[in-house]
Amino acid sequence: MTVNRELAKNFAAAHASGDMLVLPTVWDVWSARLCVDAGFRGLTIGSHPVADAIGAEDGEAMDFGQYLAIARRIVGSVDVPVSVDVESGYGLPGAELARQVIAVGAVGLNIEDTVHREGKRVRTLTEHADYIAAVRAEADRQGVELVINGRTDALKHGTAEFEDPEGEATRRIQAMVEAGARAVYPVAATQPDLIGRLVESTEVPVNVTVDPVDDAPADRDTLRSLGVRRLTWGPKWQGQMRAVLIDSVSAWA
């Protein structure tokens, strides 16, 4: 078991610093080392890119043990903090999820409120906060300053699920922070004015997924001016790389 307490401490401090963090989303050792060689000081592992890389489906359809084995190899290949996307927890109790993530050396995790293995139901606000609190309690018990990035899909589900998606996202952000999240991730926040309001609703970093090539939903300077302090790439970079690689070899087909 590898417990990276010092890296976790540094990662937590970076989130509290007020600086913008750009954390490339990687899927294997090669992509992780490439980003470190480019100068990035932290990484995220995305379930979607990993699933694509191994020919599996996203949405907790991968074997979690296989997924964590990939995460362990990535963590062991670099000397920067690594956070891992664990979707809604793969059916594990919060404490057990924390133990398994910490054991592979990761110092952060994304946890979302859409439970894919249960028909994509959405956890209630209290249920999701309680789950995050259980993860936080186990990490604290081990003395690991695990950075929990609490994700809510309230905006993504929209009015099909909630009468007031923005209000629900804001309430869930507050509940996740109170439960121990050190960053929050309101998926589908793409409009600058909406992003700005969500940033103003909390003191912790708000995570926005960006396309590193197309600057969507906005370029880094614009997002910085809105107060955004954490950027990740989701499956965007892998998708851009796929297009470039196809173009580079298609003449040989």
In sequence order, what are the beta bridge partners of 25? 44
Position of tokens 């994304």?
A: 110
Is the pLDDT at 89 greater than 90? The verdict is yes
For the chain, give every domain's residue range. Answer: 5-252
Confidence of residue 95 (pLDDT cuts 50, 70, 90): very high
pLDDT of residue 1: 61
pLDDT band at 3 (very low <50, low <70, confident <90, very high): confident
Lowest-pLDDT range of 1-10, 37-46, 214-223: 1-10
pTM of the predicted model over 0.85: yes
Rounded percentage of the chain residues whose pLDDT exceeds 70: 100
Q: What is the pLDDT of residue 191?
A: 96
Range 150-163 average pLDDT:
98
Q: What is the pLDDT of residues 183-235, one digit of tens each?
A: 999 999 999 999 999 999 999 999 999 999 998 899 999 999 999 999 999 99
Q: With CA atoms as reference, report the closest residue to 89 among 74, 104, 119, 110.
A: 110
When pLDDT is averaged across residues 87-109 and rounded to a whole number, the result is 98
Calculate mean pLDDT across residues 8-37: 98
Note the pLDDT of residue 216. 86
- Name the residue type at position 63: D
User: Binning pLDDT at 50, 70 and 90, where does residue 126 land?
Assistant: very high
What is the reported pLDDT for 215? 87
| Per-position DSSP letters for 54-116, written without gaps between them | HT--TTT-S-HHHHHHHHHHHHHH-SS-EEEE-TT-TT--HHHHHHHHHHTT--EEEE-SEEG
Cα dihedral sign for 135, 137, 140, 145?
positive
| pLDDT above 80: residue 21 | yes
Of 1.10.3110.10, 3.20.20.60, 3.40.640.10, 3.40.190.10, the CATH number of 5-252 is: 3.20.20.60
Average pLDDT score over residue span 132-156 = 99
Q: What percent of the chain clears pLDDT 90, i.e. is strictly above it?
A: 98
Q: Is the pLDDT at 152 greater than 80, yes or no? A: yes
Contact by Cβ (8 Å): 228, 206: yes
What pLDDT score was predicted for residue 19?
A: 98
Q: Are 60 and 87 in contact (CB under 8 A)?
A: yes
Q: What is the pLDDT of residue 165?
A: 99
Residue 129: both structure tokens together: 């906060």
What are the Cα distances from residue 107, in Å, to 39, 55, 98, 137, 246?
19, 26, 10, 15, 34
Mean pLDDT value across residues 131-153:
99
Average pLDDT over the chain, rounded to an integer: 97
pLDDT at 24: 99
